[in-house]
Chains A and B, each alone.
Chain A
Amino acid sequence: GAVVSQHPSRVICKSGTSVKIECRSLDFQATTMFWYRQFPKQSLMLMATSNEGSKATYEQGVEKDKFLINHASLTLSTLTVTSAHPEDSSFYICSASPVAGGPQETQYFGPGTRLLVL
């Protein structure tokens, strides 16, 4: 149980285009989903917290107009990187916290999405 999927697993796009990444909780409902970014050989940095039916909360320094987050249901959150540039190339990872069961703080992570912007 507690499986989180991401799609796509990797994407290559041209500079200036937008890319959408999906995060799904497959066997549980998630009150909250989180989006992280990880550069090579670095730790995970939280970008934003996404709550179903409400606006996402962005961490300091993360542009909300560039990284659009939609959490339309208890099993799906999407991150859209708008007008992507080479510096946005990174490993994007989502996580989800169950509605019920387990510690409130429990997060289950997706497999990540590798974004390369040319």
Chain B
Amino acid sequence: GESVGLHLPTLSVQEGDNSIINCAYSNSASDYFIWYKQESGKGPQFIIDIRSNMDKRQGQRVTVLLNKTVKHLSLQIAATQPGDSAVYFCAENTGTASKLTFGTGTRLQVTL
């Protein structure tokens, strides 16, 4: 079936560096994408979203890029901080009853 997957299961970055977390999706009908952050033992926390009619969206220290041609989504975190350490999930929505399909997740480890 259709799936959303991630290239890197674990990403280790030094504090202050920029982080890039990637996600590949396979459902060309998906029109809404979201990045979530999940800390250990907690529920997912919304970070940023983007619609398919956009290719870039910026938030506070975060940027999401969408490349529909190759069905690729990325999350960029500027000046990564220890508090950014968590598992990051991309999720896609095809407009069907607001259902989200989650990717496999990438663990971000921030080293001092």
Contacts and interface: CB of A to CB of B under 8 A. Distances in A.
Interface of A: 4, 6, 32, 34, 42-46, 49, 57, 91, 93, 95, 97, 103-112, 114
Contact of B41 (A34, A43, A49, A114): A114
B102 A109 contact: no
B97 A57 contact: yes
Interface residues on B, range: 20 to 34
B8 to A, nearest CB: 14
Contacts of B81: none
A81 B45 CA distance: 25
A109 B45 contact: yes
Contacts of B16: none
Contacts of A105: 32, 34, 93, 95, 98, 100
Nearest to A112: B43
A2 B53 CA distance: 26
Nearest to B36: A109
